[in-house]
Amino acid sequence: MGTLAPTPRVETLSCSKIQSIPKEYVRPKEELSSIGDVFEEEKKEGPQVPTIDLTEIDSEDELVRAKCLEKLKRAAEEWGVMNLVNHGIPSDLLNRLKKAGETFFALPIEEKEKYANDQVAGMIQGYGSKLANNASGQLEWEDYFFHLIFPEDKRDLSIWPKTPADYTEVTSEYAKGLRVLATKILEALSVGLGLEGGRLEKEVGGMEELLLQLKINYYPICPQPELALGVEAHTDVSSLTFLVHNMVPGLQLFHEGQWITAKCVPDSIFMHIGDTIEILSNGKYKSILHRGLVNKEKVRISWAVFCEPPKEKIILQPLPELVTETEPALFPPRTFAQHIHHKLFRKDKEANLPN
């Protein structure tokens, strides 16, 4: 049995000055009508992703604090995403994080290949491009670098980029800051459900078991952006996802039946509610469908940190306090690993369905 032919790096295709993209990157016909020019899409008026000012959550004024908690709860219920400002992570650290990732991706491809992952062998950490995991053999216009960044004792620093020299230091500092932020958000979301503040964090593994995985997404310039996607429509399996980017638009959210382009908010951290929290909240908090557009003018880079529960140790199911006769459990009990498998299996089946 032959091995899979390696997928070319998307950066290689982009730099080769091709005029038309290979057919594996062209989206299905029924999807194409919804793919517009991202810069035009960003200018459109209409519903906007809520912005939450986290200084208010620590206010000594109980009314200010309660109002902020209510805003955060409503954003989680109605959107499943929000821009976090005054989140406690210094803008200087965010700039250093972005500089480190940009420097790594500016290396020649053969240098980056030294960090290549091997998805077929199950080694998912490292430098990669998406393998086709559906029947149509569809690919996304993206390369990436993926690795676990917290807890510190679970990291494999041998696969972290050596260039730039401060990559490990900056990324580790960011991971620590995000871990504190994750606790703060999980506490607020717990209170919003009428639970004790520490409940959701405990349910996703607590300080010892909650994993933070960083994926730096690199979306090269695309000669036919109206035909491709940087990342196809999906929901995140995580509990929370924290995202920063290089201020090039591309993220779209499927809100109330239409694709909305997220506007770039300086110094903010964009946060998604993932499937895990949607399940625990019995659907009260939403894990929103989203995707990434590409463009022919500017490279887009984003840094997504997925906060994930341990794969086997915890059973994910709606919390008993949130299940009643009138609001029965919307999700069956599954481990995190089973949930991921179920999603991939379902996606594979859907790819085999006739249009």
How many residues can be counted in the chain?
355
Q: Which of 114, 154, 162, 234 does the annotation list as catalytic? A: 234
Distance CA 111, CA 337 (A): 33
Contact criterion met (CB below 8 Å) for 352 and 137: no
Question: Residue 93 is encoded by which pair of tokens?
Answer: 């650290």
Amino acid identity of residue 293, one-letter, is L
Q: Which string of DSSP letters, residue by residue, matches 81-132? A: EEEEES-SS-HHHHHHHHHHHHHHHTS-HHHHGGGB-BTTTTB-SEEEEPPP
Inter-residue long-range contacts of 116-125, CB under 8 Å, 24+ positions, other chains counted: 117/146, 120/3, 120/4, 125/156, 125/159
Angle at 328 between CA 322 and CA 330, to 5 degrees: 90
Residue 45: strand, helix, or coil: coil
Quick check: is 236 catalytic? yes
Taking the CA atoms of 197, 201, 204 and 205 in sequence, report the sign of the dihedral they define: negative
Q: With beta carbons less than 8 A apart as the criterion, state whether 252 and 261 touch.
A: yes
215 is catalytic: yes
Map tokens 């070319």 to a residue.
8
Residue 342 appears among annotated catalytic residues:
no
Question: Among 7, 271, 303, which Cα is nearest to 144's?
Answer: 303
Which residue among the candidates 87, 98, 290, 339 is catalytic per the annotation?
Answer: 290
The residues, ordered by sequence, that sit 6+ positions from 141 with a Cβ below 8 Å of its Cβ are 10, 21, 25, 219, 220, 222, 228, 229, 230, 294
Q: Evaluate the omega torsion of the peptide bond into residue 164 and state whether it is cis, within 30 degrees of 0.
A: yes
Could you confirm whether 245 is annotated as catalytic?
no
Annotated catalytic residue within 147, 236, 245, 272: 236
Beta-bridged to residue 255, according to DSSP, are 258
At residue 150, the 3 state secondary structure works out as strand
Query: Which residue is catalytic, options 87, 215, 245, 286?
Result: 215
Annotated catalytic sites, by residue?
215, 234, 236, 290
